[in-house]
Structures are given as C-alpha cells and as structure tokens.
Structure 1
Amino acid sequence: MFPSVDVNEFCSDVIYQFGDCKPLYLALTEYYKALYDSGSYEERIAEQERGHEFRQDMYCSSFWWVINEAWESYGKLNPAIPMRWLAISKRALQWDYMPSNFHPWALAILESFDLPRYQAAYHLPLDEFTAIEQDLPVVLEGLRNYPKEKLAEPMDEDNWGYVDQ
C-alpha cells in the first residue's frame, strides 16, 4: 500500500522499541469528530440527492485526503502506527466505507497490536489508554466481520504526498 513498506514491519516488535511515543489517539479521534461530524460536512452529504454513490465519493476523497496529508505517519514505521490505524479504522467503520487495499493492512496492524505491551513501553496517560482499550476490540470486531462484498474500490496508492496547488 505504501512505497517500500511491508505491512509486517508495522506488526513487528519494533513498534514497542522506540524511545518514546507521544499519545495522540484522543487527539486523532477528536480531530476526525471536529472535521467530519461538523454540521457542514454532514449537511453536504445529507442535502445531496445523489444518495449512496455521492456519499461513497465523499468518503473516498475524505478518507484518502486524511491519510495523504500524513501519509508518512501512516506509511513509515513509527511508534504511533497502532494509534493512527485504530483511529482511522474506527472512522472507516463509522462511515461504513472500507477501501479494499486498506482493510487487510488495518486488520493485520490492529490484530498484532499488544496494548498491554504498548502501555508498558510508552506509559500512555490513563484516558488515552482507556480509550484505546475500549475502542480496540470494537474496531477489531468490525474489521473482522466487515463483509468482503462491501469493500470499496482500492485507494490510490501512487500519489502519496500529493498536495493540491
């Protein structure tokens, strides 16, 4: 999915061996909430008479935009990988929008995520740890049970880092 990266790197023990990790799960979920649960975004979707196809197009462009804007944070080995993939996977499930090339990565990364080991390595604040602890099993269940026939077209994998001028 990302250049020169194998998903197995994100599932390896290296995730637990960085010097430190800034807690950002709550910040990411709040960011997505502010961005996507705002009246203007929801109203644009609700007001469209184009229905399901329009919503899927909106989700596709929004989903890709979020990952593209921080593609190196999602696509290069770093200690926040599990938090980032959990937050964006949670949003994908809320939207019921799951790109076919995103799903196997999200599932592999989150299934390999050992939260107690992560907590021992990085000492997340209690509210951050608790939020991850609550969301992880729910998101994993959603990913595991996501119907294959509902998987969306794959995200563009060739233009990471592309910025509109």
Structure 2
Amino acid sequence: EAAAVTGLARHALRLLAREGFGGPAVLERLNAAILDEGARSRFLTLLYGELWPQEDGSAILKVVCAGHPLPLRLRQDGTVEPAAEPQPLLGVMEDLELYEQTITLDPGDVLLCVTDGVTERREGTRMLGDDGLADVLTSCTGLTAGAVASRVLRAVERFAAEPASD
C-alpha cells in the first residue's frame, strides 16, 4: 500500500510541476488524488520544495512541509532552525489549504531534509527526535554536504544497538 501511494505521488508530482502549478496547488491536487483512491489509499507525508540559486551565492527556497519532518537550516554561526512550518499530511482530509514558505539560504548554509526513520530512531524508550537531530546538525558547521550526511548517518547508527530499519 505504501509503495502504491508513493508511486502515485511521484508521477502526479512530476506531471503537476511540469504544468506550472506552484507547491500548494501541486500538493492539494495530489491530496485529492490520494483521497480518490478510497479505502485502499494511505496517508502520505511530503516535503515539496523548489530551489533557485542566485548570482550572489545565495538561494531562494520555496517549500511546503505536509506532515513531514521539518527541514532544518544550519547557519554559518552554528545555529539550527526549522526551515518550514508544519502543515497537515496528505490523504487524510479534504479541502487542504496549504501554503508555501519562502526563505533565503545564505552562502554556506546547510539545508538538511530527512525521513522520519531518522527522527524516530529508538533505543528502548528513548528517541533521537527533532532535538537530537538538531544537536547533531549543530556540530556540522563548516562541513561539506557529504560530511554532514555522513555525520547524521553515524549519529543515527550509533543511537541504538539494533540496526536501523528505515
């Protein structure tokens, strides 16, 4: 079931984006398509973004976070903040009114997007969570994208004795 809704989403997103719809319109139409599947459909969390590099080295990001773990922004000074606000997930309710947020990523900023398999990593009753992920990201100031990804992956692996399942 999860693979079916993911497949539907992947194709619908590509088609709608090519037609020139903005993020909220794309996700609202995808939400309707998921609901049209009826009882066999599942809910879906999704982070949808469009990124435009600028001549000064910055980038403009337009993003909608539909029930998905929030993207995190690491600034040059080591501060970490969410790069979006949470909005409802898809496939649960009709008439969603999603909105797009626009942020400017400065040169050297890091934008980290993860699945819930990272934030929900558990060891007994402990969970890595959003705060644990933010703590890991804080230690990544000045690293390359590959080094940030490696450090996050190591932190997830080391958080629990059992291998990660997601």
TM range (shorter): under 0.3
Which of the pair has more CA radius of gyration? 2
TM-score of the two chains, using structure 1 as the length reference: 0.23
Q: Tell me: higher relative CO, structure 1 or 2? Use CA pairs within 8 A at least 6 residues apart.
A: 1
- Structure whose residues are more often helix by fraction: 1
Q: Which has the higher strand share?
A: 2
TM-score of the aligned structures, taking structure 2 as reference length: 0.23
